Amino acid sequence: MKIKLATWNINSVRLRIDSLARFSKMYNPDIIALQEIKCANEHFPLESINNLGYNHVAFHGQKGYHGVAILSRLPIDHLCQHDFNQSADTRHIAVKLKSTSRSKNPVILHNFYIPAGGDIPDRTKNIKFGQKLDYLTNLTNWFKDETNNHSDRMIMVGDFNIAPLEMDVWSHKQLLKVVSHTPIEVTHLNDLQNSRNWHDVMRQFIPEEEPLFTWWSYRAKDWRLSNRGRRLDHIWVTPKLAKTSRSMQVISDMRSWEKASDHAPVIAEFEI
């Protein structure tokens, strides 16, 4: 079965519903994982999304902040959603692909919006940074716990808010003390990756020696000219799915669309 999967920090699903429709028409993904939907569940634009052909939808939102959703043209079962910091923030949702559920090891898709962490990379001076590190620690421990491992065929996507590699940022040296690329954040993300030996799908297609960005700040007058980007959005798979990925692309042109999100979608294709 071929699956085209997209992940995108949409930065308000209601504000960018037209962009979502245009993206869906242009690229025709089977599944779209959204982060920062920024709306309470009762205001989620379900009818508009159904009209795009996504009749299987799971969402977990809150008023004005955060929120995640999974839109699918394939049947899915809403599996779980967890608050890894007991903060009441809606940052995680997981579904099971029903089309593969006859297998003893169904495909599970996890969608995350990991905390950004504020501006100061010091947990003693910035509570948000400490919360980010704690979230990553709790998430890592959760995946290590065998009782939470629903399958050995899992996909994890989302805005992780960390650019781990030197070529995941526009300047490694200048961003070493900037939240999203500090050594302690990278260490925590590496611990998470090692929790289930997750494979980095994006870097399977783009060598680590080449720049790869998914986010460009709104502060840049010409984001493409300055190209001061970071790779904050990721697609990971467990080892059983490592050889199923067939392609990957960052849709960077969408950063220039009207009312653009500061994140570009990432699309990966799998043959499972």
The pLDDT tens digits of the residues spanning 10-45 come to: 999 999 999 999 999 999 999 999 999 999 999 999
As for how many domains the chain has, the answer is: 1
Answer yes or no: 135 catalytic: no
pTM score of the predicted model = 0.97
Asked whether the predicted pLDDT for residue 190 surpasses 80, the reply is: yes
What pLDDT digit, counting tens, does each position of 76-107 carry? Answer: 999 999 999 999 999 999 999 986 555 568 99
Answer yes or no: 159 catalytic: yes
The domain that holds 215 is classified in CATH as 3.60.10.10
Question: How many angstroms separate the CA atoms of 143 and 128, rounded?
Answer: 23
* Summary mean pLDDT of the chain: 96
The more confidently predicted of residues 56 and 103 is 56
The answer to whether 179 touches 188, Cβ cutoff 8 Å, is: no
Catalytically annotated residue among 113, 135, 168, 200: 113
Quote the pLDDT of residue 210.
98
H helix or E strand, kind and range, residue 69: strand 68-72
Question: How many angstroms separate the CA atoms of 129 and 41, rounded?
Answer: 27
Per the structure, the complete domain to which residue 169 belongs is given by 2-271
Average pLDDT (157-161) is 98
Catalytically annotated residue among 159, 168, 200, 233: 159
The encoded tokens of residue 149 equal: 């491992």
